[in-house]
Amino acid sequence: MMKAAIYRKFGGPEVVNIEEIPKPSPRNTDILVKVLATTVSIADHRVRCLDLPKGFWIFGPLALGVFAPRKKILGMDIAGIVQAVGKSVTKFKPGDEVIALTGANFGGHAEYVCLPENDPISLKPKNMNFEEAVTLVFGGVTALSFFNRFPIKSGDEVLVNGASGAVGTAVIQIANHFGAIVTGICSGGNAKFVSLLGAHHVIDYKREDFTKNGETYDVIVECVGNASFERVRDSIKPGGVLLLMITDLKGTLSAWLNSKKSGKRITASQDKPLAKDLVSYPPKLGR
């Protein structure tokens, strides 16, 4: 048996309880990981209480469960130690220290999780402990899954809306690594943190509206849900890119048409996360 944080109905944090359930056992191509660290991300929150962007509440329950959650254990990422492997597993062995994205399968908020060996799983960086390493996964893989489609070039001016969050902090560091000039939008309290991560300029969204200051960017990365194309179009340089990590149904459906009409590239979809996105350092963009 194992302990897991289980939610059996949608709602606030109070719907999550620790329960004893059977420990999973790995099938042929699975690895069984003892979880030593995980995160509670915005995705856990959104799914637990069906806090979905406008329009998606129509489809959300179909995927997540109509009357009760389909998947009862949250947790999109883990860091831990491989305990056992299925007969056909070749990439990992018991004792390996790993980080992994459980992604839409969730299941990270448990003592053990089984994962197919070909999922986004990598050996844990040796210079980080489990708690540190797990913080790379959710935001880092999300950022790379967009940048793999729209690679950042040295000298690009990149604006990150929501720069202090899990995805925004990864975006700053990756963009910085590729030589971009990064502007981070966050609260004043997080300005120093965002600068330390590598943002060259920081704007406090409570003091200044970046869409009204006359500056333009090659890439705008939207990680908040308030920077629709309609709002930020004049802040994107001709031929520039808007990466919508979060948007409503209208924003998703109109991305292609708005791109055609404006000559600016807008996307709300990303590449499938791969193990490569956790392994490579320095990151190499593209597939």
Ligand X SMILES: NC(=O)c1ccc[n+]([C@@H]2O[C@H](COP(=O)([O-])OP(=O)(O)OC[C@H]3O[C@@H](n4cnc5c(N)ncnc54)[C@H](OP(=O)(O)O)[C@@H]3O)[C@@H](O)[C@H]2O)c1
The 79-98 site mask, x for binding ligand X (CB under 6 A), equals: --------------------
CB closer to ligand X, 91 vs 149: 149
Specify the amino acid at residue 263: G
* Cβ-count burial 127-159 (b if 16+ within 10 Å, e if not): eeebeebbbbbbbbbbbbbbbbbbebeeebbbb
Alpha-carbon gap, residue 137 to 186, rounded angstroms: 21
Our finding on whether 161 is near ligand X (CB under 6 A) is yes
The token duo for 211 is 């869409």
Site string for ligand X, 267-286 (x = CB under 6 A): ---x----------------
Pair 255, 266: CB distance under 8 Å: yes
The two structure tokens encoding residue 100: 């992994």
Strands (DSSP E) contained in 109-151 are 112-116, 121-123
Of residues 190, 228, 235, 267, which one binds ligand X by CB under 6 A? 190
- Binding segment for ligand X among 4-12, 36-44, 230-238, 252-260 (CB under 6 A)? 36-44
Place of tokens 């990981």: 33
Of 207 and 260, the one with the shorter C-beta distance to ligand X is 207
Taking the complex as a whole, the smallest distance from the CB of residue 143 to ligand X amounts, in Å, to 9
Q: Which two tokens stand for residue 175?
A: 């963009």
Window 195-234: contact mask with ligand X (x via CB under 6 A): ----------x-----------------xxxx--------
Which of the stretches 41-49, 59-67, 91-99, 107-115 binds ligand X when contact is defined by CB under 6 A? Answer: 41-49
| Single-letter amino acid, residue 133 | A
Binding site for ligand X (CB under 6 A): 41-43, 46, 139, 142, 161-162, 164-168, 185-187, 190, 205, 223-226, 245-246, 270
